């Protein structure tokens, strides 16, 4: 196998990695906000259930959660398993939503109570206060920890290999052990793919933080 062929194959596998990455963010970022609202619910059963969900998602390995999402429906209920890719997306979304919910909570609770009181004096409703005053400031404050989670997500996509989803790392492993393969060079190239993409993500998040710098 030539070096060029190996790089092209890894690039093809990286498309699956990107799909997992973007679909996870698309689902987990808004779901995390809903989870936060559930955690703050005045209904004790709801808040207790959401707290338990967050605890389980943060307290168990994502690899195990992937296996549960893919295998459990068939083992427990005899249902036909979902596609491996769909199971991966669901597991990643519910896992990262729990982390994002806690990040949102930290950002929102760091905003001074006086801003809520001032909004109430000005006649804002609770929803108007949240979406027009609190949420923009929260977004600015949570960008650094969200950036850390997003970078972690790029690397975590390799865990999809546990249920045989062929993303870049899985493909690199197969190429490395194939006859006449470049061997460890394959993993070095895969590492470059991960690093460059993480650098782009970090740069984009840094620019987003600067764009919101008017929120102090």
Quote the number of domains for the chain: 1
Does 116 fall in a domain? yes
Residue-number span of the structural domain to which 62 is assigned: 3-211
Given a contact cutoff of 8 angstroms between Cβ atoms, the answer to whether 194 and 155 are in contact is yes
DSSP 28: H
pTM of the model as a whole: 0.91
Residue at 216 is within a domain: no
Return the SS3 of 101: helix
Which runs of consecutive H residues, i.e. helices, occur in the chain? Answer: 3-39, 44-59, 62-77, 84-109, 113-121, 126-129, 135-156, 168-177, 185-211
Q: What angle do CA 90, 92, 98 make, to 5 degrees?
A: 105
| pLDDT, one tens digit for every residue, the chain (216 residues) | 788 888 999 999 999 999 999 999 999 999 999 999 999 999 999 999 999 999 999 999 999 999 999 999 888 888 887 899 999 999 999 999 999 999 999 999 888 888 888 888 888 888 888 888 888 888 888 999 999 999 999 999 999 999 989 899 999 988 888 877 777 889 999 999 999 999 999 999 888 888 876 555
The CATH number covering residue 26 comes to 1.10.3720.10
């Amino acid at each position: 196998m030539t070096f060029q062929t190996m790089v092209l194959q890894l690039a093809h596998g990286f498309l699956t990695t990107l799909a997992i990455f973007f679909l996870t963010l698309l689902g987990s970022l808004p779901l995390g906000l809903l989870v936060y609202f559930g955690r703050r619910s005045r209904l004790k059963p709801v808040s207790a259930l959401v707290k338990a969900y967050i605890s389980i998602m943060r307290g168990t390995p994502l690899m195990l959660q992937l296996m549960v999402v893919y295998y459990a429906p068939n083992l427990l209920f005899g249902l036909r398993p979902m596609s491996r890719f769909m199971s991966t997306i669901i597991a990643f979304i519910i896992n990262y939503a729990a982390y994002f919910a806690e990040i949102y909570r930290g950002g929102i609770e760091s905003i001074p109570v006086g801003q809520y009181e001032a909004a109430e004096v000005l006649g804002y409703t609770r929803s108007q206060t949240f979406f027009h005053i609190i949420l923009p400031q929260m977004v600015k404050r949570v960008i650094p920890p969200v950036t850390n989670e997003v970078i972690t997500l790029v690397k975590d996509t390799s865990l999809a290999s546990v249920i045989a989803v062929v993303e870049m790392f899985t493909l690199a492993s197969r190429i490395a052990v194939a006859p006449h393969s470049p061997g460890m060079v394959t993993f070095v190239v895969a590492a470059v793919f991960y690093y460059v993409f993480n650098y782009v993500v970090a740069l984009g998040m840094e620019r987003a933080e600067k764009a919101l710098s008017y929120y102090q």
